Amino acid sequence: MHYKNPIQNLDYVVINNARMANTAKRLKENHEGDQDRISALPESILHHILSFLELKQAIKSSILSSKWRYVWTSLPFLYFDFGLFETKNLKQSKAKSFEKFVDRVFQLRDTSSVIERLNLNCSGFISPDPQNLINSIYTWILIGLKRKVKELYLDVPFGPKHFKLPSYIFMCESLTKLELRGSAAPQLCIFLSNLPNAMSLPRLESLVLQSVQFGGDDTPNNLFSKCPVLESLTITHCVFQSNLVITSPKLKHLMIDLYFPGTNKKDSTIKLNTPSLLSFRCKDYMSRDYYVETYLSVLVKAELDMTPGEFDANGILQLEGNSRSLYEQRMMKLLKAFHTIEDLTLSVWFFEINAWDCSAIYPVYTTSMCNLRCLRLGAGLADRSLKMILNLLMNSLQIESLVIEINKAIFTTPPSPYWDEVDLTTSANYESLWETQEPYVQYMMHELKFAEVRGVQGRLNELVLLQFLLKQCTVLEKVLIYLVDEQSPNTKRKATKFFHKLASFPRASSTSAILCV
């Protein structure tokens, strides 16, 4: 039997232990190195890491190490949300606990640190006497302004009876973004009036006003004029005492949503003096008259969702006197101001209100929409609407993408019959629709590659419109047809027959494909 030299065995153990020790040492050094590398990160990176945490959790990071102990005290982003706030203190109300928490955060902050973003969201606050919290909010806002806050987000649905926006907000030279949000309920909106004469927001680039009630006649107009570098403006559910004038030479993005049923929609005007505007979204009543006072040479995108009025309990549109004719003129005037646009969306009521007098659209096209590339339309597709759509298409021959969404609930006139319920060879309806197309058949659309029609019901005018596109579009690649959301056997039968009929029509493009979804 062969025996191993015990000295050799000992040498092996010593060498092996040394290797294990070295390995453990390296692992430890690497582990410690990882800790050192994280702790040695710049404070701005640590702040960025903590910005993904709820503020209470960010504060708890102070127990990780001495390095992290005071990191949170200089956080540049402070987000206080009453709705998300949780407390285990059963001896005092949630409102009181929230107030104390925010106070404590400000008390323990590094007084030399800048607050870049301050978000105070008090939505959901319920109290018979909210004045204590409101007074605290005034103090918190003032602290933020003194710390050179750049972005201020304020959501305070207390109503003008309790909360009046402090005027010193509008003399802050550091603000670049300001959002003021009240509640949609009129009694809970933010009240804004008596702005200071020395008002100036020289760095403000973005302004959001939601559920704000302006007290003075010229208050909003003065506000906009004191923001010389404003680039983005959003106005939602606000109440104005007089006509609105938006004068902003550098404004690029404008969104106006003043549509909220049940409110006083007295006739008023909104004037736009915004030569640098790139995008415009508007949802409003046609009773409000819009004036574009400058040439919008750089406007790229617009969405117009205008409603002519309210509906009664039976779903009938309520229009007064000669309002229909007046609204037609207003919509045409607004569309004409956008004749250089590239991307346009028009809601269903644009066509339905104008379909009563198709001649109203002709003056619009003394200058064609030669830059339009993408067009989205809402339509009821009553017979008169078809002529409006064809007018628009034939004066926008550079269109590359067309989307039409048919709203089956919107018919101000009786809809056309289903195509398979009439004799296409003798139908007066069919002949009339093709006569509608005669002025346009000389125009070929050489750019349209994609068309999508949603909510197809299988009606005669839908068939004529799609047949027209197939006949006039020379480079059409794809036509997507989405049927109306009804799963009855009769609907499926009609859809199948409709699709087969459409597939039999001649096409100007040899590469076009029709897909029915």
- Which of 16-30, 408-422, 449-463, 482-496 has the highest mean predicted lDDT (pLDDT)? 449-463
The reply to whether 357 falls in a domain is no
- Residue ranges of alpha helices (H) inside 243-344 are 323-336
pLDDT for position 210: 93
* Token digits of residue 430: 């069919």
Q: What separation in angstroms does the CA of 21 have from each of 11, 215, 473?
A: 15, 77, 78
pLDDT in tens, 68-90: 788 888 899 999 988 777 776 65
pLDDT in tens, 366-404: 457 889 999 999 987 676 777 778 888 888 889 999 999
pLDDT in tens, 142-163: 999 999 999 999 998 776 666 7
Residue with more model confidence, 118 or 123? 118
Query: How many domains is the chain partitioned into structurally?
Result: 1
pLDDT for position 325: 81
The reply to whether 397 falls in a domain is no
**DSSP class of 331:** H
DSSP string for residues in 228-262: TT--EEEEES-B-SS-EEEE-TT--EEEEE---TT
Domain that holds residue 23: 1-40
- Residue ranges of alpha helices (H) inside 283-381 are 323-336, 348-354
The reply to whether 127 falls in a domain is no
pLDDT for position 29: 54
Helices and strands (H and E) in the chain: how many: 12, 20
Q: pTM of the entire structure?
A: 0.84
The reply to whether 13 falls in a domain is yes
* Torsion sign over Cα 327, 329, 330, 336: positive
The reply to whether 21 falls in a domain is yes
Question: Closest by alpha carbon to 452, among 492, 491, 482?
Answer: 482
pLDDT for position 15: 42
**DSSP class of 50:** H
Backbone phi, psi, residue 48, to 5° = -65, -40
Contact 482, 457 (CB under 8 A): no
The reply to whether 164 falls in a domain is no
Cα(200)–Cα(210) distance, integer angstroms: 21
pLDDT in tens, 253-310: 999 999 887 555 567 899 999 999 999 999 999 989 999 999 999 999 999 999 887 7
The reply to whether 24 falls in a domain is yes
Buried b (16+ CB within 10 A) or exposed e, 446-476: ebbbbbbbbbbbbbbbbbbbbbbbbbbbebb
Percent pLDDT > 70 in the chain is 77
Over residues 174-188, the mean pLDDT reads 84
The reply to whether 339 falls in a domain is no
Cα(281)–Cα(257) distance, integer angstroms: 8
